[in-house]
């Protein structure tokens, strides 16, 4: 038995990241394939960090809601009667059925089992045939609330009562890309899908653009040049890199009517990986994002959406641009699905082993360090 076969996945990961970036390797296979390591990630990462539920502009009216899971916990995010976005448990206070599914609009939350009915603030409005139970007190029954804040248009939720706000932990995002005013971008499409890969493989695929010319040869590969990519050191709560784009895809550039962006600001694409699982591509023209939820070691549920900057939305041909963007990104996504599912198959092989990282994969190494910083080396 080799030394590494005796280490737990967490210990292997800590050993993997304890080298300088100049001699870094991809993460060990076990951190992707081990169910026990995923359980540690759910506990130490997904159960404790800010996660993204999508864009606030997709819930414009009172009663608009979406549902999600945080580390296995069913959660409702909705806009309440006061116009605030709030989050709460999606589990009925009677015999614990889940309440809402998918997305939609409700006047109140009605349990599908026995019709206990909740107001949009989570308080119980009514329950049939409960008057004879002396322990039942309608006024004391409320769906537990979950922390929820809107940050630059992103709905952020967490089960952790002690985390600083996203405004605080992600203030460096604003210093870097504040000139693009993400809160004014408008989501124009959104869908969910499930891919056969580990959530970290997809996150890592996003955080390096090394694969763009090859994996994306059929779509955006021609608009990038490996020599035009900059991968600086990241921050504790996110990593990033940027690409100076050529003119191949005008939608990724500042709109011709825009007079405030100057020089490279008009053509820089930012790739922001907000730990643990919000991945944002931000250009002066469009944005798209992935918010990842692990589903076992070998699958990931993905909330995928995108849209345009205010300038492009105001363009008389915005409908055409939106359709063109969506078609382009759908093809890009298909290419990423192929690459990330192939990586997971390789990770599950006996002969596979992690190789050295390019200087263009600095964010991947920082991501591995982040995971290691959350999951203790002795955890099993
Ligand atoms: S479980 Fe919800 S009303 Fe019975
Ligand atoms: Fe990609």
Domain spans in the chain, listed from the N-terminal domain onward = 24-48+170-374, 51-158
CATH topology of domain 51-158: Rieske Iron-sulfur Protein (2.102.10)
Asked if 169 contacts 98 with a C-beta cutoff of 8 angstroms, the reply is no
- For residue 221, the tally of other CB atoms under 10 A from its CB is 16
- Ligand 1 atom at minimal distance to the Cα of residue 99: 2
State the Cα–Cα distance between residues 144 and 100, nearest whole angstrom: 15
ω into residue 276 within 30 of 0, thus cis? yes
Out of 99, 110, 111, give the residue to mutate to test ligand 1, the one with the largest number of ligand atoms within 8 Å of its CB: 111
- Ligand 1 atom at minimal distance to the Cα of residue 92: 2
Instruction: Spell out the long-range contacts of 224-230 with Cβ–Cβ below 8 A and sequence spacing 24 or more.
Output: 226/360, 229/360
| Residue 1: predicted pLDDT | 46
- Please tell me the class of the 24-48+170-374 domain: alpha beta
pLDDT 10s digit of each residue in the chain, 380 long? Answer: 455 558 999 999 999 999 999 999 999 999 999 999 999 999 999 999 999 999 999 999 999 999 999 999 999 999 999 999 999 999 999 999 999 999 999 999 999 999 999 999 999 999 999 999 999 999 999 999 999 999 999 999 999 999 999 999 999 999 999 999 999 999 999 999 999 999 999 999 999 999 999 999 998 888 888 888 889 999 999 999 999 988 888 889 999 999 999 999 999 999 999 999 999 999 999 999 999 999 999 999 999 999 999 999 999 998 898 898 899 999 999 999 999 999 999 999 999 999 999 999 999 999 999 999 999 999 88
Nearest CA to ligand 1 atom 4: 114
Distance in Å, CA 332 to ligand 2 centroid: 7
State the Cα–Cα distance between residues 272 and 185, nearest whole angstrom: 16
| Closest CA relative to residue 207, chosen from 231, 191, 227, 177 | 231
- For residue 349, the tally of other CB atoms under 10 A from its CB is 9
Distance in Å, CA 70 to ligand 2 centroid: 25
State the Cα–Cα distance between residues 377 and 242, nearest whole angstrom: 32
CA 35 from centre of chain: 21
State the Cα–Cα distance between residues 262 and 253, nearest whole angstrom: 11
Q: What is the DSSP letter of 12?
A: H
User: Half-sphere exposure of 343 toward its Cβ, with a 13 Å CA cutoff?
Assistant: 25
> Which ligand gives the minimal distance to the CA of 141?
1
Q: Which residues pair with 123 in a beta bridge?
A: 142
| Residue 249: predicted pLDDT | 83
70, containing H or E segment: strand 64-70
> Which ligand gives the minimal distance to the CA of 224?
2
Q: Tokens 């952790």 correspond to what residue?
A: 160
Out of 114, 118, 136, give the residue to mutate to test ligand 1, the one with the largest number of ligand atoms within 8 Å of its CB: 114
Nearest CA to ligand 1 atom 3: 114
Nearest CA to ligand 1 atom 1: 95
Distance in Å, CA 135 to ligand 1 centroid: 16
Asked if 77 contacts 87 with a C-beta cutoff of 8 angstroms, the reply is yes
Token pair, residue 195, equals: 């891919």
| Residue 250: predicted pLDDT | 87
- Ligand 1 atom at minimal distance to the Cα of residue 111: 2
Q: Which residues line ligand 1 (CB under 6 A)?
A: 92, 94-95, 97, 111, 113-114, 116
């Amino acid at each position: 038995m080799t030394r590494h076969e005796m280490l737990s996945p967490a210990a292997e990961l800590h050993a993997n990241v304890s080298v300088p970036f100049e001699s870094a390797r991809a993460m060990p296979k076990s951190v992707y394939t081990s169910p026990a390591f995923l359980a540690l990630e759910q506990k130490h990462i997904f159960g404790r960090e800010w996660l993204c539920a999508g864009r606030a502009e997709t819930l414009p009216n009172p009663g608009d809601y979406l549902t999600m899971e945080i580390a296995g916990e069913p959660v409702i995010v909705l806009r309440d009667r006061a116009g605030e976005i709030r989050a709460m448990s999606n589990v009925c206070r009677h015999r614990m059925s889940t309440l809402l599914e998918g997305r939609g609009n409700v006047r109140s939350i009605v349990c599908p089992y026995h019709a206990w009915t909740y107001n949009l603030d989570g308080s119980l409005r009514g329950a049939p045939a409960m008057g004879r139970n002396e322990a039942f007190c309608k006024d004391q029954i409320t769906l537990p609330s979950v922390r929820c804040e809107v940050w630059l248009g992103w709905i952020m939720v967490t089960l952790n009562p002690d985390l600083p706000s996203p405004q605080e932990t992600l203030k460096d995002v604003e210093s870097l890309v504040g000139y693009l005013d993400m809160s004014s971008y408008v989501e124009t499409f959104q869908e969910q899908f499930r891919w056969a890969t580990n959530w970290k493989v997809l996150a890592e695929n996003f955080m390096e653009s090394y694969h763009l010319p090859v994996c994306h040869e059929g779509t955006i590969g021609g608009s990038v040049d490996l020599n035009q990519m900059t991968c600086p050191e990241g921050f504790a709560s996110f990593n990033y890199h940027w690409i100076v784009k050529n003119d191949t895809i005008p939608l990724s550039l500042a709109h011709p009517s825009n007079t405030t962006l100057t020089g490279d600001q008009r053509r820089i694409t930012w790739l922001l990986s907000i730990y643990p699982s919000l991945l944002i591509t931000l250009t002066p023209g469009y944005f798209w994002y992935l918010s990842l939820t692990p589903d076992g070691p070998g699958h990931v549920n993905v909330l995928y959406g995108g849209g345009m900057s205010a300038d492009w939305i105001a363009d008389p041909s915005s409908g055409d641009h939106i359709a063109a963007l969506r078609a382009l990104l759908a093809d890009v996504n298909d290419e990423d699905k192929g690459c990330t599912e192939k990586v997971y198959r390789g990770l599950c092989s006996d002969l596979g082993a992690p190789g050295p990282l390019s200087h263009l994969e600095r964010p991947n190494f920082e991501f591995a360090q982040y995971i290691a910083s959350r999951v203790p080396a002795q955890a099993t």
